[in-house]
């Protein structure tokens, strides 16, 4: 039996973790970092129960088993008795698919069928404590009432294909699934479902689902909840507003570990906005949360309130002192009301206009493919600003969200802003940053957005690949009749030499107007 126990091999699951782009598999080292946040006496208690509600490779259950094997040895010295107790009474999983159920059982029981002679602990059935139930979505008005999946042929309603109707979500009362209480719920849930609706911009949207796993787990009221999820909830999004408010105001969250670049956590996997994992302690209320920011090899941990800045979470610990000096300045006014919402003039990204200008089509429209001409009557929004000077930029963060940028090489945060003259407008491909009566103000404003200071303040709110007006919350509005340089801004807001040097090192210069740097 000792040979079977020693067959646990984290390298196997490390390889598997590097294969997935859809439902991200957790590397063993990440699973263990999450387990390290738990009180370690849990692994010496024969009554502690653990649940992974979204098990794929079985890495969490396997690593917990390894810790329990050591922690319970004084209480249960016989190895087989200890194994049987752990496998039958302490570890439980709900698999994502039939395939991952086999993989998870192989990881935990050393056999995909725990009732076989090869299983290190014998069960009477083929599932053991890692269950998979092939269930269906419950449709209402074209949506699943449980997870929000879209009822679209060929997506989630074909019986012959995996329909992603996760059992943990598709039940009103999750306590009915296993009919027991758990001390620890831990896992890495699936991140999103394609909505399959709309066209143009709407077709690229996806329905977050990881938040539903967290909310469902809280309903089970475990002593500890630990999950790794995308960090996009920091700034909200489709269906994430309530979840963000819940998380930021939850005084039971004792620790949050934030990876701005997902590749620092999941090797080779790009997740826009990065990822995070957290620990929620049911029985303790914390005045502050221990927040650990991970950027490359740098890890900075400080204790602070998650809701210190309202419904915006600041993930960069090194920026807190700078942010406080800027936003607490008596003259601070946010730039958020200067920036326009996306789709400023009502033209989708596919709009091109006429190739030639004529008396009817005299307004120049810029798209990602160049420029064309439209009639004033075609402009659906903000007709009153068409004849003014305007500053705009691409609505996408450069370099696919800058998730793979080496911090030592610096970030740009935004593509080089450009100026629209009167009777020039843009499509949905761009974001309108401001409108001015004079060209001088527009140029000064454009140059201000190009400063490292302004782009640094902008980047503090990023957690996705798209830029919106909300990202300008902490960028100060100033007098744009004058020109602002970084040196002026550092002095104006009273930054120390070290703080100025930090911004200068983190942000790299942007190009001149018209450069193709997006």
**Tens digits of pLDDT across the chain (518 residues):** 344 444 444 444 554 444 443 467 899 999 999 999 999 999 999 999 999 999 999 999 999 999 999 999 999 999 999 999 999 999 999 998 899 999 999 999 999 999 999 999 999 999 999 999 888 888 888 888 888 887 775 556 555 456 678 889 888 777 777 888 999 999 999 998 765 544 334 434 578 899 999 999 999 999 999 999 999 898 777 778 899 999 999 999 999 999 988 888 988 788 878 899 999 999 999 999 999 999 888 899 999 999 998 888 888 898 999 999 999 988 899 999 999 999 999 999 999 999 999 888 899 999 999 999 999 999 999 999 999 999 999 999 888 677 667 667 888 999 999 999 999 999 999 999 999 999 999 999 999 999 999 999 999 988 778 899 999 999 999 999 999 999 999 999 999 999 999 999 999 998 665 544 54
pLDDT at 170: 85
Phi, psi (degrees; rounded to nearest 5) at 304: -160, 165
Closest among 412, 415, 399 to 509, alpha carbons compared = 412
CA angle 172, 176, 180 (to 5 degrees): 135
Closest among 449, 472, 450 to 459, alpha carbons compared = 472
Burial of 83 (0-12, 13-18, 19+ CB in 10 A): buried
pLDDT at 6: 42
Q: Which residues, 6+ apart, have CB-to-CB distance to 451 below 8 Å?
A: 484, 485, 486, 489
pLDDT at 512: 62
Q: Which residues, 6+ apart, have CB-to-CB distance to 392 below 8 Å?
A: 366, 417, 418, 420, 426, 430, 431, 432, 433
Domains by residue range for the chain, with CATH:
324-506 (3.90.220)
Scanning 169-316, the segments in alpha helix (DSSP H) are: 175-178, 210-219, 241-248
Instruction: List residues bridging with 371 in a β-sheet.
Output: 366
Residues 436, 391: Cα–Cα separation, whole Å: 8
Closest among 109, 138, 121, 153 to 7, alpha carbons compared = 109
- Are 428 and 203 a contacting pair, CB within 8 Å? no
Residues 431, 338: Cα–Cα separation, whole Å: 12
Burial of 239 (0-12, 13-18, 19+ CB in 10 A): middle
Place of tokens 């489709």: 238
Phi, psi (degrees; rounded to nearest 5) at 149: -60, 150
pLDDT at 156: 61
pLDDT at 109: 96
């Amino acid at each position: 039996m000792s040979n079977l126990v020693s067959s646990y091999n984290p390298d196997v699951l490390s390889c598997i973790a590097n294969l997935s782009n859809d439902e991200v598999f957790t590397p063993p080292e990440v699973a263990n970092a999450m387990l390290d946040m738990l009180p370690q006496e849990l692994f010496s208690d024969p009554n502690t129960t653990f649940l992974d509600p979204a098990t794929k490779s079985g890495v969490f259950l396997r690593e917990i088993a390894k810790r329990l094997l050591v922690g319970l040895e004084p209480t249960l010295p016989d190895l087989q008795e200890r194994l049987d107790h752990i496998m039958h009474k302490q570890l439980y999983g709900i698999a994502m698919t039939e395939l991952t159920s086999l993989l998870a059982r192989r990881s935990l029981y050393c056999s995909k069928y725990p009732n076989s002679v090869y299983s290190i602990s014998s069960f009477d059935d083929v599932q053991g404590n890692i269950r998979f139930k092939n269930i269906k979505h419950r449709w209402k008005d074209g949506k699943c009432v449980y997870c929000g999946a879209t009822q679209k042929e060929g997506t989630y309603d074909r019986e012959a294909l995996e329909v992603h109707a996760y059992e943990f979500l598709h039940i009103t009362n999750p306590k009915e699934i296993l009919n027991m209480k758990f001390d620890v719920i831990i896992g890495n849930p699936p991140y999103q479902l394609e909505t399959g609706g709309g066209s143009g911009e709407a077709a690229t949207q996806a329905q977050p689902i990881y938040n539903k796993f967290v909310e469902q787990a809280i309903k089970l009221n475990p002593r500890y909840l630990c999950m790794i999820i995308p960090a996009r909830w920091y700034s909200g999004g489709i269906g994430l507003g309530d979840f963000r408010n819940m998380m930021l105001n939850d005084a039971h969250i004792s620790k949050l570990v934030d990876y701005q670049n997902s590749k620092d956590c999941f090797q080779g996997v790009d997740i826009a906005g990065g990822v995070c994992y957290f620990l929620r302690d049911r029985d303790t209320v914390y005045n502050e949360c221990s927040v650990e920011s991970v950027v490359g090899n740098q890890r900075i941990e400080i204790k602070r309130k998650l809701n210190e800045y309202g419904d915006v979470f600041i993930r960069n610990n090194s920026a807190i002192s700078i942010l406080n000096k800027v936003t607490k300045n008596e003259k601070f006014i946010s730039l958020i009301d200067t920036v326009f919402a996306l789709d400023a003039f009502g033209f989708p990204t596919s709009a091109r206009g006429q190739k030639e200008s004529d008396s009817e089509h005299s307004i120049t429209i810029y798209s990602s493919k160049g420029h064309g001409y439209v009639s004033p009557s075609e402009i659906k929004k903000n007709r009153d600003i068409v004849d003014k000077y305007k500053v705009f930029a691409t609505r996408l963060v450069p370099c696919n969200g800058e998730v793979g940028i080496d911090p030592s090489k610096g970030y740009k945060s935004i593509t080089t802003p450009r100026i629209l003259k009167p009777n020039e407008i843009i499509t949905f491909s761009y974001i309108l940053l401001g409108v001015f009566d004079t060209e001088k103000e527009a140029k000064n404003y454009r140059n201000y957005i190009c400063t490292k200071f302004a782009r640094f303040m902008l980047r503090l709110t990023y957690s996705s690949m798209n830029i919106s007006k909300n990202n300008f919350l902490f960028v100060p509005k100033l007098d744009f009749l004058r020109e602002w340089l970084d040196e002026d801004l550092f002095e104006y807001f009273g930054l120390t030499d070290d703080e100025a040097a930090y911004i200068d090192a983190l942000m790299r210069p942007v190009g001149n107007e018209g450069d193709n740097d997006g």
